[in-house]
Amino acid sequence: MTKNGYKAIVIGISAGGLAALSKLFSFLPNGFPLPVIVVQHVAATSNRFIYTLFNNKCRLTIKEADDKEEIQAGFIYFAPPDYHLLIERDETFSLSIDAKVNHSRPSIDVLFESAVYVWSSGLIGILMTGANSDGAHGMRLIKEHGGLIIAQDPKTAEYPVMPQSAIDTARVDKILSIEGIGEWLRDDLVHLTRDVKNESRSG
């Protein structure tokens, strides 16, 4: 948990996501203080090689989320292809083959909505490049529950529809390039965590 009470990060991304996430993950340092949970729109038959690709560019462990798995800080979790990914009250994952939402399974909104009911104001939501509006409703819910929401600057997105839909739907806290998002996570968020640790030692 950070000084501001943040407990988890959820990321939604679609078209153009491979290059964008590779760049974003390169900013995250060892010992990153929160779990990062990603829904990326991919085909049901997608190859798992992308996790190897990301792991080669990132200091954190990147893996596919397993049903009933306990969520841990310092890991990056991906929704498996063709499964909705949900967060349970005990901070474990749940996988679902319910009908598609926003023409997608996994759906970004499904993850965001379930996460906000667990972490409330402790949630950070990030919506990046993509060609539809999945995730915009979830971003609004995160904001309504006191969380922080960040949209990739549509001018820097390979596909601007998804981040623009968040900007149009919710009062986005930050609109940043991929580099800007990465720097904020690396510098500002990690700095807040160091403050918490220092306060704990002094107390």
The active-site residue out of 84, 134, 153, 165 is 134
Closest by CA position to 136, among listed 112, 160, 105, 158: 112
Active-site residue, 14 included: yes
Active-site residue, 67 included: no
Active-site residue, 137 included: no
The active-site residue out of 14, 104, 133, 165 is 14
> Tens digits of per-residue pLDDT, 2-32?
556 899 999 999 999 989 999 999 999 999 9
Top pLDDT among 114 and 200 is at 114
Residues 24, 140 contacting (CB under 8 angstroms):
no
What integer pLDDT is reported at residue 3 of this predicted model?
53
Q: Where are the domains of the chain?
A: 8-202
| Distance from C-alpha of 88 to C-alpha of 163, rounded to nearest angstrom | 26
Q: Does residue 201 carry a pLDDT above 50?
A: no
Reply yes or no: is the peptide bond before residue 29 cis, omega within 30 of 0. no
CATH superfamily, with its number, for domain 8-202: Methylesterase CheB, C-terminal domain (3.40.50.180)
Q: Is the pTM of this model over 0.85?
A: yes
The pLDDT confidence band at residue 178, using thresholds 50, 70 and 90, is: very high
> Tens digits of per-residue pLDDT, 71-101?
999 999 999 999 999 999 999 999 999 999 9
